[in-house]
Amino acid sequence: MTFLTTAAGAMELPAAPASGQFRPKFHYTAGRNWLNDPNGLVYLNGTYHLFYQHNPFGTDWGNMSWGHATSSDLRTWEEQPVAIPCDAQEAIFSGSAVFDAHNTTGFGTADAPPLVAIYTSAYSDASPLAGRQAQSLAYSLDEGRTWTKYQGNPVLDRASADFRDPKVFWYDGGAGSYWVMVAVEAVQRQVVLYKSADLKSWEYLSTFGPANATGGVWECPDLFELPVDGDPEDTRWVLVVNINPGGIAGGSAGQYFVGGFDGVSFRSGSTVTEGLQEDSTRMREYGWLDWGRDYYAAVSFSNVPDGRRIMIGWMNNWDYAASTPTGGWRSAMSLPRDVSLTRVQGGVKLRQEPVDAFRTAAPDGFRLGPQPLPPGFLELPATAAAARIDVEFEPGAARSVGLAVRAGDAGRTVISYDVATGTLALDRRQSGLVDFHPAFPSIESVAVPLQDGRLRLSIHVDRCSVEVFAQDGLATITDLVFPADASTAVAIFAEGEGARLTALAVVGR
Ligand code: FRU
């Protein structure tokens, strides 16, 4: 049962419509209606809170409010009442949430400190601030169940129409200890940084960008520090900037920069091009969170213990999000990813792997051991409507190796590795329903060097998505697919002689 809290009180919504064939088995969707960006990702007392852009009243974007779901393992989510509903004056756009452990805001007490949401007020015509976007606060004294807007909103207003998506974290470093906000001036392709002692009054620090991909507005930034290969003495800061359109696969995507942050400015060590003149020939040199079409507005959780950095993206693309054929609900979240930094040839890169709940070895499932992989298709005696497939190829002298998933008479999604070019591709042109939007049928690709002659893929197939993690997460491809119910076959293939299969496991979900 879903309840919607409005100014008029709690209202019971009718039961959610039947799931439908595309409702994911292990990705979060709202029971009904529209969802986009993850917002306010925060961990507190054993619970992960996922807030998100949500239209409580329909399956299209609008009435933007913060939906809410909770989980203890990042795998099973329980939908909660709408956390921060829109009203006549403002829509509640994207933002973040922090645990204000020292009660710097005074919203709680020293003994019972608050959770604080920092969100973008997108003011409607009824507001004296009509047309502006500014940053506002809401707080919760009951671990995220109910929220109160701060009377002094907005807390940061630049008189801009495109100032949004504040991500706030507690900085504790050489320059002092304070809250830092990263937000965007979306149209200017800039990340702006501010600092505060109490989340209420903000002081300008610096601006980053434009840089690298600038073919669309910059949205939903994030900034965090990570050790390189686990060494606490050797850390870098990662600046995430989502961009729409102008992503690497077309439409929406996330890019990232690796560099340093001194408490005032972020300096990138990985910028390829500066300014608004993106160099289209160098797009593949930029840092991309994902090389598919359906990983957007990705941001990380705050307050997770043990220095873990976990990110979730909206598994969709603004190019066609309004047209995806899913009935009474629309859009899912990606799998939560553990992100880390690792040194590779040519610099320091992000590694992204599904969180433990999706990674731990399962005893059951179908397995193949090391063996030659002759030319042609080999259909496996395992079906996978929703499954995890771990496979390692040794392509050797073959031209290509790969798999077909969600395969059947009505189509298939093909993941292939071209040995000559060292390119991994996902082809969803024949994946099932593709003609609901002209931008949907597509092939995505990414350069993936073999490691000791091997290609390792971990593929997570759900009812409307395929997420590929290559070489233990050094490159990922996330794509929606809308296959026929009966398309559940899995096949592996090689083109040309000389390939070997080192290991394969298909574990159903
Ligand atoms: C990104 C975005 C954000 C904005 C929100 C509105 O997908 O456009 O910039 O805050 O969605 O729903």
Q: Which of 292, 242, 288 is nearest to 477 (CA)?
A: 292
Distance of CA 305 from the midpoint of ligand 1 (Å): 28
If asked whether residues 58 and 168 sit together in one domain, one would say yes
Q: In the predicted model, is pLDDT for residue 231 greater than 70?
A: yes
What whole-number distance in Å separates Cα of residue 135 and Cα of residue 497?
60
136/235 same-domain check: yes
Question: How do residues 369-401 score in pLDDT, each as one tens digit?
Answer: 999 999 999 999 988 899 999 999 999 999 999
485 inside domain = yes
Residue 253 reports pLDDT greater than 70: yes
**End-to-end Cα separation, the chain, in angstroms:** 25
Which atom of ligand 1 lies at the shortest distance from residue 61's CA?
12
DSSP state at residue 483: -
Confidence of residue 359 (pLDDT cuts 50, 70, 90): confident
Ligand 1 centroid, distance to 122 Cα (angstroms): 10
User: Residue 141 falls within a domain, yes or no?
Assistant: yes
Domain check: are 163 and 279 in the same one?
A: yes
For ligand 1, say whether the CB of 352 is within 6 Å of any of its atoms: no
Of 354, 387, 417, which marks where a domain is finished?
A: 354
From 33, 35, 36, 222, the mutation candidate for ligand 1 (largest count of ligand atoms within 8 A of CB) is 36
Total domains in the fold of the chain: 2
Mean pLDDT of the chain: 94
Sign of the Cα torsion 435, 438, 439, 443 reads: positive
- Binned at pLDDT 50, 70 and 90, residue 19 comes out as very low
Residue 71 Cα to ligand 1 middle (Å): 24
pLDDT band at 10 (very low <50, low <70, confident <90, very high): very low
Per-residue model confidence (pLDDT) at position 405: 98
Provide the pLDDT confidence category of residue 61 given band limits of 50, 70 and 90. very high
Instruction: Assess whether 438 and 486 both reside in one domain.
Output: yes
Q: Which of 8-22, 106-120, 332-346, 491-505 has the lowest mean pLDDT?
A: 8-22
The residue-averaged pLDDT of 64-80 equals 97
Among candidate residues 334, 354, 374, the one where a domain is terminated:
354
Are 136 and 168 a contacting pair, CB within 8 Å?
no
Q: Are strands 253-261 and 475-480 parallel, antiparallel or unpaired?
A: unpaired
The band of 3, judged by pLDDT with boundaries at 50, 70 and 90, is very low
CB within 8 Å of 17: residues ≥ 6 apart: 32, 327, 328, 329
User: Does 348 share its domain with 415?
Assistant: no
For residues 410 and 432, is the Cβ–Cβ distance under 8 A?
yes
Q: For the CA atoms of 323, 386, 38, 258, what is the dihedral angle to 10 degrees?
A: -110
Segments forming the whole domain that contains residue 114: 33-354
**Residue 38 belongs to a domain:** yes
Q: What pLDDT is stored for residue 16 in this prediction?
A: 44
The secondary element (H helix, E strand) that includes residue 277 is none
316 lines ligand 1 (CB under 6 A): no
pLDDT band at 226 (very low <50, low <70, confident <90, very high): very high
Q: Is 162 a catalytic residue?
A: no
Q: Whose CA is nearest to atom 6 of ligand 1?
A: 93
Residue 220: CB within 6 Å of ligand 1? yes
Among the listed residues 300, 318, 135, the one whose alpha carbon sits nearest the alpha carbon of residue 217 = 318
Preceding peptide of 154 cis, ω within 30°: yes
**Residue carrying the six token digits 């419509």:** 17
Q: What is the pLDDT of residues 161-218, one digit of tens each?
A: 999 999 999 999 999 999 999 999 999 999 999 999 999 999 999 999 999 999 999 9
Catalytic choice (37, 290, 338, 462) = 37
Ligand 1 in reach of 353 Cβ (< 6 A) = no
Same structural domain for residues 311 and 423? no
- Residue with the smallest CA separation from ligand 1 atom 9 is 219
CATH number, domain of 246, equals 2.115.10.20
Q: Of all helices (H) and strands (E), which one includes residue 38? A: strand 33-44
pLDDT bucket at 2, cuts 50 / 70 / 90: very low
Per-residue model confidence (pLDDT) at position 17 = 44
Q: Is the pLDDT of residue 48 over 50?
A: yes
Q: Which stretches of 229-362 are assigned E, i.e. beta strand? A: 231-244, 253-261, 266-268, 287-288, 296-300, 310-315, 329-330, 332-333, 337-344, 347-354
Four-CA torsion 66, 67, 73, 75, nearest 10 degrees: -120
At 329 the pLDDT is 96
89 lies in some domain: yes
Same domain for 471 and 436, yes or no, is: yes
Beta carbons of 35 and 54 less than 8 angstroms apart = yes
Structural contact between residues 67 and 92, judged by C-beta atoms closer than 8 angstroms? no
Domain end among 320, 354, 388: 354
Q: Are residues 314 and 384 in the same domain?
A: no
Helix (H, G, I), strand (E, B) or coil at 323: helix
Asked whether the beta carbons of 115 and 47 are under 8 A apart, the reply is: no
For residue 219, give the ligand 1 atom closest to its CA: 9
What residue type is assigned to position 181 of the chain?
M
Q: What is the mean pLDDT of residues 267-277?
A: 94
pLDDT tens digits, one per residue of 407-417: 999 999 999 99
Residue 8 maps to a domain: no
Nearest Cα to 312, choosing from 343, 258, 358?
358
- State the pairing for strand pair 266-268/371-373: unpaired
Q: Could you tell me if the CB of 167 is within 6 A of ligand 1? A: no
Residue type present at position 104: T
Same domain, 303 and 444: no
Percent of the chain with pLDDT over 90: 91
32 C-alpha to center of ligand 1: Å?
19
Decide: 424 and 446 in contact? Cβ < 8 Å. Answer: yes
Residue 384: predicted pLDDT: 86
- Give me the CATH number covering residue 457: 2.60.120.560
pLDDT of 451: 98
7 pLDDT above the threshold of 90: no
Choose one of 54, 60, 93 to mutate for the ligand 1 pocket test, by most ligand atoms within 8 angstroms of C-beta.
Answer: 93
290: which 2 tokens? 């994902």
Substitution site in 54, 55, 66, 94 for ligand 1 pocket (most atoms within 8 Å of beta carbon): 94
Q: pLDDT, tens digit, for every residue of 98-156? A: 999 999 999 999 999 999 999 999 999 999 999 999 999 999 999 999 999 999 999 99
In the DSSP assignment, the letter for residue 284 is G
CA distance 52 to 66: 5
- How many angstroms is it from 208 CA to the middle of ligand 1? 20
Compute the distance from residue 244 Cα to the ligand 1 centre, in Å. 10
Tell whether ligand 1 has an atom less than 6 A from the beta carbon of residue 319: no
Quick one: pLDDT band at residue 15, thresholds 50, 70, 90?
very low
Domain-located, residue 10: no
Q: Ligand 1 pocket test: which of 52, 219, 299 has the largest number of ligand atoms within 8 Å of its C-beta?
A: 219
pLDDT of residue 202: 98
If asked whether residues 337 and 388 sit together in one domain, one would say no
pLDDT band of 5, cuts 50, 70, 90: very low
pLDDT of residue 163: 98
Of 63, 66, 59, residue with least CA distance to 329? 59
Shared domain check, 389 and 324? no
On the question of pLDDT at 18 being above 80, the answer is: no
Please give the Cα distance from 227 to 273 (Å, whole number): 25
Q: Is the pTM of this model over 0.85?
A: yes
> Cβ(297) to ligand 1 under 6 A?
yes
Is residue 336 a part of any domain in this protein? yes
Q: CA-to-CA distance for 265 and 385, rounded, in angstroms?
A: 47
Cα 265 to Cα 369: distance, rounded to the nearest angstrom:
51
Mean per-residue pLDDT, 356-372:
87
* 380 lies in some domain: yes
Ligand 1 centroid to residue 409 C-alpha, Å: 38
284 vs 55: CA distance, rounded Å: 35
Instruction: Copy the structure tokens of residue 80.
Output: 């909660």
**pLDDT of 497:** 98
64 C-beta closer than 6 A to ligand 1: yes
* 149, 404, 418, 444, 493 from 398: Cα distances, Å: 61, 17, 9, 21, 10
Whole-number Å distance, alpha carbon 377 to ligand 1 midpoint, is 43
Residue 383: predicted pLDDT: 86
- Atom 8, ligand 1: which residue's CA is nearest? 219
- Pocket of ligand 1 contains residue 93 by CB under 6 Å: yes
Per-residue pLDDT, averaged over 311-332, amounts to 97
* pLDDT for 370: 98
- Domain co-membership, 396 together with 346: no
| C-beta 165 within 6 A of ligand 1 | yes
| pLDDT of 14 | 41
User: What pLDDT does residue 509 have?
Assistant: 82
Check if 470 has its Cβ closer than 6 Å to any atom of ligand 1: no
Determine contact, residues 357/73, Cβ cutoff 8 Å: yes
Q: Answer yes or no: is the C-beta of 90 below 6 A from any ligand 1 atom.
A: no
164 lines ligand 1 (CB under 6 A): yes
How far is the C-alpha of 473 from the C-alpha of 475, rounded, in Å? 5
* Residue 37 CA, ligand 1 centroid: distance in Å: 7
What's the pLDDT score for residue 1?
A: 26
User: Which residue carries 């900037």 as its tokens?
Assistant: 241
